[in-house]
Each structure stands twice: as C-alpha cells, then as structure tokens.
A and B are shown apart, each in its own frame.
Chain A
Amino acid sequence: MTVKKAFAFAGRKVLKFFLLIAAVEVITFALMEASPIDPVTAYVGASTSIGAEQRELIAEKWGLNKPPFERFGSWFRNILHGDWGDSMIYRRPVMQVIGQKFASSLLLMAAAWILSGLLGFFLGVIAGMRENSLADRLISAWCHVLISTPSFWLGIFLIIVFSVRLHLLPAGLSVPIGVLQEDVSFADRLTHLILPVLTLTLSGIAGICLHTREKTIGILQSDYVLYAMARGESRKSILHNHVYRNVLLPAVTLQFLSFSELFGGAVFVEQVFSYPGLGYTTVQAGLRGDMPLLMGITVISAVFVFAGNLTADLLYLLIDPRIREGGQRG
C-alpha cells in the first residue's frame, strides 16, 4: 500500500520534473545564445592562424549558421535520442566527459556529504541539548562564521596551513603531477583527497548543525519530553529515546535537500585544488565557451538536485509513521 503510494508519488514528481528540465534546457540555451562568446573561437581556441573560410566551414559543420530556433530544435531532439553533442574543449561526446568527471566528483562529494552530515548532526545535538551553554555558543558562533566563509577561501586557508606551512598534505590535483593514472597508489589518491574533502565538509556543516540544534531545542520543549522527565527518564535516556528519534529524519532529509549546495561547493573546491571533477570541468567549459558541455552539465546538475529532493520526499513518505500509517484507527 505504502510502496504503491510512494511509486505513484515518485511518478508524479518525475513527470513534473520533465517539464522543469525542458524549461531549464530552453533557458540555458537562451542564456548561451545571449552570451557574447563566439562558439567558433571557443572551438579553435585563441589561435589566429585560422582564416575566415575555415571558420565558416567549422560553423557549417556545427550547424552554427542556422537560426537559434532551428538549432535548439535539433539539439533538443538529439538529447531525446541520447545524443548530447560533442564537447568542444575535450573533443569527445559530452556524455562521456560528464560521466568520467562525475565519477571523480562523486567520490569527493559523497565523502564530504557523509562527513558533514555526521559532524553537523552531532554538533547540533550537543549544542541543542545544552542551549546557551559555552559549548552551544561556540558551536553556533563557529557555524555562523562558516556560513559566511566562501568555500574557495576555506580551501586556500587549508592549503596555507597544511601544505605550505606544515608540509603535511598535497595542495592540489587528485593525482601527483607526472605520474601515470595507472601508477597512482591508493594512499596517494587518499592523501590528495583529504584537503578537498575537508574543505567541502566544513562548508557543508553549518546548515545541518544549526538546523539540528533548532530541532533539538524544540524537541526538548515538547510535551513528550516533559512527560519523559515526569516518568523519571534521565537526560541520557531522553537523548537516546526521543531526541535522536525525532531529529534524525529531518536531519537526513535536509542533507538530501542540500545536494544543490553540495554541487555548488564542489565547483569551488575543485577549482582551488585543481581536482579534475565535474566542478572543475564546469569552470573550464564556462571560461572557454564550451556550450554543449556547459548545457550538459546544467541538465545533469538539475537531475542531481532532483534526485536529492525526491529521496527526501520519499524518506518522509516511507519512514514517518504519521504519513506512512495514515490517520486514527481507534
């Protein structure tokens, strides 16, 4: 029954999402049309040795001479057929580029997502359980500072401390320079991941921490915690029996809803650490005018955000008994 309901719900969401994604594509296309970047120049790069006829030929090949509507039409049709075009800077199919880069970003994002979720959650519970204590004040102040800290500066700061000053960790790239991809050891990979993951984790903590803190404070003021105290439950027992139970679902949900910030954060972190993931590629595609790639990335990022939102909704639907079990039975 519930599973069926969840499927129906997800189905409706996906339908709505297709409408949304179509609009995203139209807008992305329009924005790219409006930009003063010349796609032919983007393709051939800055070299001036290419004559006007050759440019004409390139434009012909890419269909750049046709009117915008026609071009959008054919681009859109191709996407429906699974053909996202070729990246101009990588000279490979867009999907191939995105697939490879996304896999590398996913490692970074997943690690930071889990770590920031766990850290933020526990710090939030600690702060909320002791509202207005020194610990709470420190944690809250730290979160407010973190919210105001651009993730790229955080990355620079960590590089200054751990790489330049302490010489503990490498500053950039997911693999050492001059070493073949195949020869990179697991340990090497790991040490190169530490700083980017740490940066992305720290920039993701504040939101979940402050949210968990608020929820915890609310729960401690609830009637059921009052009753638990009247029943002689200790603070520890209240924490285990009621606080965790009631704060966990909203916290996990919020983590899923934060996919958008996670992706945005990855763009900056990857740029600072020259981490060859989707974020770094986004910046390259943008700076060098690689329209097909940029449009592909936009759509993929929207799918990513949607996946997070849908998971959050489904979690509530499947886990929260107030929604799952329906109304009064008695």
Chain B
Amino acid sequence: MNEMPVFQVRDFGVSFSQYENGVTRRELHVITNLDIELYEGKILAVVGSSGSGKSLLAHAILGILPDNAVVYGRMEYRGSRIGAEQIRALRGRKIGLIPQSVNYLDPLEKVGHQIERSVRGGKKKEKKKKVLEMMERYGLEAGVYDYYPHQLSGGMARKVLLSIALLSDCDILIADEPTPGLDEGSLREVLKDFRQAADEGKALLMITHDIQAACAVADRIAVFYAGSTLETADVSDFGGDGSLLRHPYSRALLRAMPDREFIPAAGNQPLPGNLPEGCLYYDRCPERRVNCKALRPGSRALRGGRVRCDYAT
C-alpha cells in the first residue's frame, strides 16, 4: 500500500472536562490514541466493543461534539493538514456521515426532501430526478420519497442514509454502527451497498462492534480498545486461528467470536476517567511484561500493519 491515503488521523484524542463536587474539574479521556488511514476504494473497519469510545469517534472526526469536549491530534485530507475550520468546510461535502439510525432524520420532513438537500445546485425538478434515480438504484420504491422517517423500516432507513451520503458527492464516508437491528437479508444488502460504494472509488470508514460484519466487508480492520487503536491489519490476518494478528487483544477478540472458540476474554476495559499509566491492555494481557505497566507503547509498523505493543512479532 504505497499510494497516499485520502484521509488520515494520527494520535487523535478527545477529552471531556467534567465538574465533580462543584469546582474540581476532571478530564475524561474518551479517545486517547486514534490512528486511521483511509484509501480510495477501500473499506476500513474500526472494531471495538461497547465502552471503547467508538460511539464518539465519528462525531469527533467531524467536529460535532458537545461544548465541553476538547479534540487534539493531527488530521490530513489528501496530503494537507487540516484543522477545525477545514473540517467544517469538508463535512457534508467531502466527508459524509452515515448515522446509526432513523432518529438522525428530521421527523417532520419527507424523506425525499431530506435526501434532496444533498444534491447541490440544479433545478428542483432535476434534483428530484437525481434522488429518485439514487433511490431506485438502492431498491427503494418511488413512493418512499413521500414517506416520513417513522414510516421507514430499519433496512430502508440505512438505504436512505446511504443515499444521502452518496448523493452529496463525498469521497469519504463514515458509517456509524451500520449493522444493529437489521435482519440477515438487510444486513447482507447493506454490506453489499458499502462494497459497491467502495468499488466506485469512495473511501469508507465503518465503525462497528460487529467483527463478523467487519471481516465480511472490510479491506483493513483497526482494533479499538479504551479509546486507542491497538492494531491495524489486513482483513486476511483475521482469518484462520488469528496467529497472524499482532496484538494479544486482537487475538482475544477473535477467539470470543461465536463461530470461533467463543471464549470471552476475562476482565473489563479501563474507564475513560481511570486509564492506566502504561499499556491500556496491561490488566488483561496474558503476555504482559514488567515494562508494560509503566510505559504506554507507541504505534509501530509491523508486517504491513500497525500495532501498539512493544513485544508483538
């Protein structure tokens, strides 16, 4: 992978300042070390279990967190460094969000009109035509144009949200938890739609807890734990018994899958207000060494992937 990433995020973090007992402030590090690289035509899945901070990931990247959040780190779009100002200009135009559920649609506006807002320029009639074309492509009948959000089924809602992102001409799509609440058929369809979008040249970031879905559709997978990406690897490394994986947590995650050994790893993720000094996985790591407790390992390249473990091979 020598080509340049369309979008990359490095050492990216989010913290919230909270008041406890009136005046003492406390920093909650919800995301500490996030590294992602998105490439044209590729799908990157960020996989994390609940409590890993992934629910804030998409919002953090797009700069739509609440007031008391502080964001830091480095972001690059097509090779040039960007800040808050540029993100504001890019969101919705170059970077599109595919939100979790139908709650992200205005409950009082017709679905068709909400999709239409993504089409920039052109006459009203042409806009509608484009929307209807896009809807037809994704198997939504024309009548859905006049639906209100509460009338959409889970599968239809994903298609509507995807249509919004695709019509907006974004080259980067961030899908936030696209799989929950879908039946088998709709799930397959959603993943097929994602693949198709990638094949047309879009760069996709899929944030999910569902490692199976990630393995089924993604090109690369980033394993997210306690606010950090512990490992980024090609999807092929997740095959077999997982011996190609670099980080002990990734292997544990794989083992916990229902169609593998189905053995959940013991222990819990550290909480954002209470992160350990050293390696975030220290408490639960079967291969931990003395050094791991004091020093948090940085990210390093290893066998075509990246890992945050000094002892991985």
A interface residue numbers (CB < 8 A to B): 223-224, 226-233, 241-242, 245-246, 249, 320-322, 325, 327-330
Please name all residues of chain A whose beta carbon is closer than 8 Å to the beta carbon of B168 when the two chains form the complex. 231
Inter-subunit contact A224/B105 (CB<8 Å): yes
In angstroms, Cα B113 to Cα A242, docked, is: 12
Q: Flag the segment in B143-151, B220-228, B229-237 that touches A.
A: B143-151
Give the complex CA separation of A150 and B163 in angstroms.
55
B126 / chain A contacts, CB cutoff of 8 Å: none
Q: Nearest 10 CB-CB pairs, A to B?
A: A232-B92, A330-B153, A231-B92, A227-B104, A230-B97, A321-B148, A329-B151, A330-B156, A223-B103, A224-B106
A contact residues around B99 at 8 Å (CB):
223, 227, 230
Chain B positions within 8 Å of A, measured between CB atoms, are 58-59, 62, 64, 88-93, 96-97, 99, 101, 103-109, 117-118, 144, 147-148, 150-153, 155-156, 164, 168
Are B147 and A223 closer than 8 Å at their CB atoms? no
For A249, list chain B residues within 8 Å (CB): 108
Interface of chain A, main secondary structure: helix
B107 and A224 form a contact (CB under 8 A): yes
Q: Is the CB of B153 within 8 A of A226?
A: no
Residues on B with beta carbons closer than 8 Å to the beta carbon of A226: 59, 64, 104
Report A-chain residues with C-beta under 8 Å of the C-beta of B62.
229-230
B90, B106, B155: which has the most chain A beta carbons within 10 Å?
B106
Q: Are B151 and A231 in contact (CB under 8 A)?
A: no
Q: Which of A231, A241, A246, A330 contacts B97 (CB 8 A)?
A: A231
Residues of A within 8 A of B117 (CB): 231, 233, 241
Contact B156 A241 (CB under 8 A): no
Contacts of B58 in A (CB 8 A): 230
Question: Which of B58, B64, B152 has most chain A Cβ within 10 Å?
Answer: B64
CB distance from A37 to the nearest CB of B (A): 53
29 contacts between A and B (CB under 8 A): A223-B99, A223-B103, A224-B103, A224-B107, A226-B64, A227-B99, A227-B105, A230-B91, A230-B92, A230-B99, A231-B91, A231-B96, A231-B118, A232-B91, A233-B92, A241-B106, A241-B109, A241-B117, A245-B109, A246-B107, A321-B107, A321-B150, A325-B148, A325-B150, A327-B150, A327-B151, A328-B150, A328-B152, A330-B151
Do the beta carbons of A224 and B104 come within 8 Å of each other?
Answer: yes
**In the complex the two chains form, what is the Cα distance from A223 to B64 in whole Å?**
11
Q: How far apart are the CA atoms of A242 and B107 in the complex, in Å?
A: 9
- Chain A residues contacting B92 (CB-CB under 8 Å) are 230-233
Q: When A229-B64, A230-B99, A231-B164 are in contact, do A246 and B151 touch as well, CB less than 8 Å?
A: no
Residues of chain A with a CB closer than 8 A to B144's CB: 330
Known: A241-B117, A328-B152. A320 touches B108 (CB 8 A): yes
CA distance A116 to B38 in the complex (A): 54
List the A side residues contacting B109 at CB < 8 Å: 241-242, 245
Beta-carbon contact of B148 and A322 below 8 Å: yes
In the assembled complex, the CB of B98 is this many whole angstroms from the nearest CB of chain A, namely 10
When distances are taken between beta carbons in the complex, the residues of chain B under 8 Å from A329 are: 147, 151-153
**Cβ distance B282 to chain A, nearest Cβ, rounded Å:** 35
**What residues of chain B lie closer than 8 Å to A232, measured between beta carbons?**
88-93
Which chain B residues lie closer than 8 Å to A325 at the CB level?
148, 150-151
Interface contact B108-A227, CB-CB below 8 Å: no
Among residues of A, the one whose C-beta sits closest to the C-beta of B141 is: A330
Q: Which residues of A contact B88 (CB under 8 A)?
A: 232
* A233 CA to B148 CA, complexed, in Å: 20
CB of A318 to closest CB in B, whole Å: 14
Q: In angstroms, how far is the closest chain B Cβ from the Cβ of A2?
A: 14
B217 to chain A, nearest CB (A): 22
**Residues from chain A with Cβ under 8 Å of B106 in the complex:** 224, 228, 241-242, 245-246
**Residues of A contacting B93 in the complex (Cβ-Cβ under 8 angstroms):** 232
